[in-house]
Structure 1
Amino acid sequence: MTVVSVSMPDSLLERLDAFAEEHGYTGRSEIVREASRNLLSEFDDKQLENRELLGVVTVLFNYETSDVEQRMMQLRHEHEHLVASNIHNHVGDEHCMELFVLEGTLESISTFVGKIRATQNTLSVDYSVFPVDAFDPTLETE
């Protein structure tokens, strides 16, 4: 097995070690391997391919980190064909939340979420996807 060096802040490393101990993992490598498999398989759902999807993406970041807010605006404009709606809210005294409603293919939503996740200084990125045709009561489901 190939050895890979990964940089991460001490606080994340401490959380990783605590998680390993609490959940019975043999070590950091086992957690990182499982997390990597899960991340890579997130958008590998054959039932979602070739379907129009609705995606909801929520991003939380620190108010003082203005570069994150600018990046969110850039991504909204770069993907205006995908972004159906975008809402910016203040959460408490220190945080902001961006909510994106997306309409598009699995590939386009996956690309957008990947760019959001690659943005430095985000605190949390969460998303969900649903087939648009699943909302149509006239269509029969199997």
Structure 2
Amino acid sequence: MQRITVTLDDTLMEELDKVMAQRGYQNRSEAIRDLARAGLKTMKVSDQPDQPCVGALVYVYDHDSRELSKRLTRHSHAHHHLTLSTLHVHLDHDSCLEVALLKGKGGEIQEFATDVTSERSVRHGQLVLVPETGQERSTEHHHQK
């Protein structure tokens, strides 16, 4: 392990300390290592659009918006090869939440997410994208005894 020195402004340090307290980190090094790993995974997916990934796209939309449901369905059908599963929840009289679990090339998943979340009357959208590793792609599944 290597030791480095990093300079952070006070505001960023306060945010880091809050994250440490919320997540129970023992020290700043642990927190910074986890944040660095997460950032590197995100960059890897962005820099390598062919990287196999799994993802969850969560979005909230106004179900009464003219033709929106049809447009969202068209996006889903156009990217059906990415979709593992979807969940649809009625939040209230006007709002629906959908979660789409996706698997495929990172660039294609990001493109699908952008198409969906940029639709008019989609109020919120967030994609969590995780690159697959060689171990995760294995077709064998083992449990420890």
Q: TM class by shorter-chain length?
A: 0.5 to 0.7
| Partner SS for 1:81 | helix
Partner amino acid, structure 2, of 1:126: Q
Encode CA deviations 1:29-53: one digit per residue, 9 max, x unaligned: xxxxxxxxxxxxxx97235624310
Structure-1 residue corresponding to 2:12: none
Encode CA deviations 1:111-130: one digit per residue, 9 max, x unaligned: 10111122111110111001
Structure-2 residue corresponding to 1:116: 116
Partner amino acid, structure 1, of 2:100: F
CA distance in 1, matches of 2:93, 2:84: 28
Contact 2:57 2:113 in 1 (8 A): yes
The alignment's C-alpha RMSD in Å is 2.6
Structure-2 residue corresponding to 1:45: 43
Contact 2:45 2:131 in 1 (8 A): no
CA distance in 1, matches of 2:66, 2:45: 38
Encode CA deviations 1:9-37: one digit per residue, 9 max, x unaligned: xxxxxxxxxxxxxxxxxxxxxxxxxxxxx
Structure-1 residue corresponding to 2:61: 61
Please report the TM-score for the alignment, with normalisation by the length of structure 1.
Answer: 0.58
Runs of 4+ in 1 over 3 A off after TM superposition: none
Encode CA deviations 1:54-73: one digit per residue, 9 max, x unaligned: 01001101232252221221
Shift of 1:135: 6.9
Instruction: Describe how 1:1-142 pairs up with structure 2 within 5 A.
Output: 45-46=43-44, 49=48, 50-133=50-133, 136=136
| Partner SS for 1:73 | helix
Q: How many residues get paired?
A: 96
Contact 2:54 2:101 in 1 (8 A): yes
CA distance in 1, matches of 2:87, 2:61: 14
Structure-2 residue corresponding to 1:39: none
Please report the TM-score for the alignment, with normalisation by the length of structure 2.
Answer: 0.57
